[in-house]
């Protein structure tokens, strides 16, 4: 895997990717990256790999689940002609099982999650240089926590899809667990889901390392 000069990288996902991006901004323009890990990655590659002249595009939308990505995939991802696609999804697919009970909406089952993610990878892979699949995460060290157990279940499915199609899997939960072995997860998030800047830095570090661009970290 080698990210090359002028490559176009699309980041797609939920609120963690979105991170207050300006929906009215043109792709890869000021305020379009949000204030999270996509902004960190764009700033890092601009500063430390200026020769690559990468185009970094944030297509995250808060609240999205995997079925929402599928519904907008053509217009929001493929129509932008990406060289690389980075997908981070799963936390809402899990959390709605816990906080969406009284909505009486149809939940994303493990079967639907795996099938839909597989479909997105399968239809995208022939048209791009490569894909990254990022795990979801929950900022609690308690692996017996019911939500954490379900996050781990869905992350296992993300890893399974990555291995099936031979694409890059980035284990963000593992990065968070390493931190929580030393310090409280409170420093990474006050609600266990939405990261602080420190949390976004850990996501960016994991992605840049997987992309072979993390030498300056």
Please list the active-site residues: 15, 191, 194
> Do residues 107 and 97 make contact, with C-beta atoms less than 8 angstroms apart?
yes
Bridge partners, residue 10, by sequence: 57, 85
Q: Are strands 55-58 and 168-170 parallel, antiparallel or unpaired?
A: unpaired
Q: What would the 3-class secondary structure string for 123-157 be? A: HHHHHCCEEEEECCCCCCCCCCCHHHHHHHHHHHH
Helices 146-165 & 172-180 angle (0-180, nearest 10): 140
d(C-alpha 115, C-alpha 109), whole Å: 10
């Amino acid at each position: 895997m080698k990210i090359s000069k002028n490559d176009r990288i699309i980041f797609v996902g939920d609120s963690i990717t979105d991170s207050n991006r300006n929906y009215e901004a043109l792709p890869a323009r000021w305020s379009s990256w949000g204030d999270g890990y996509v902004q960190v990655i764009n700033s890092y590659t601009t500063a430390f790999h200026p020769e690559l002249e990468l185009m970094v595009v944030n297509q995250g939308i808060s609240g999205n689940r995997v079925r929402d990505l599928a519904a907008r995939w053509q217009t929001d991802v493929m129509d932008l002609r990406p060289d690389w696609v980075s997908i981070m999804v799963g936390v809402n697919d899990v959390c709605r099982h816990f906080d969406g009970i009284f909505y009486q909406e149809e939940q994303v089952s493990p079967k639907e999650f795996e099938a839909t993610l597989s479909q997105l990878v399968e239809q995208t892979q022939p048209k791009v240089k490569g894909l990254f699949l990022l795990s979801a995460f929950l900022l609690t060290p308690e692996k017996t926590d019911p939500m954490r157990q379900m996050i781990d279940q869905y992350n296992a499915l993300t890893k399974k899809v990555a291995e099936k199609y031979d694409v890059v899997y980035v284990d963000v939960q593992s990065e968070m667990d390493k931190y929580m072995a030393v310090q409280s997860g409170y420093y990474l998030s006050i609600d266990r889901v939405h990261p602080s800047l420190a949390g976004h830095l850990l996501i960016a570090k994991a992605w840049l390392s997987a992309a072979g661009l993390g030498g300056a970290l």
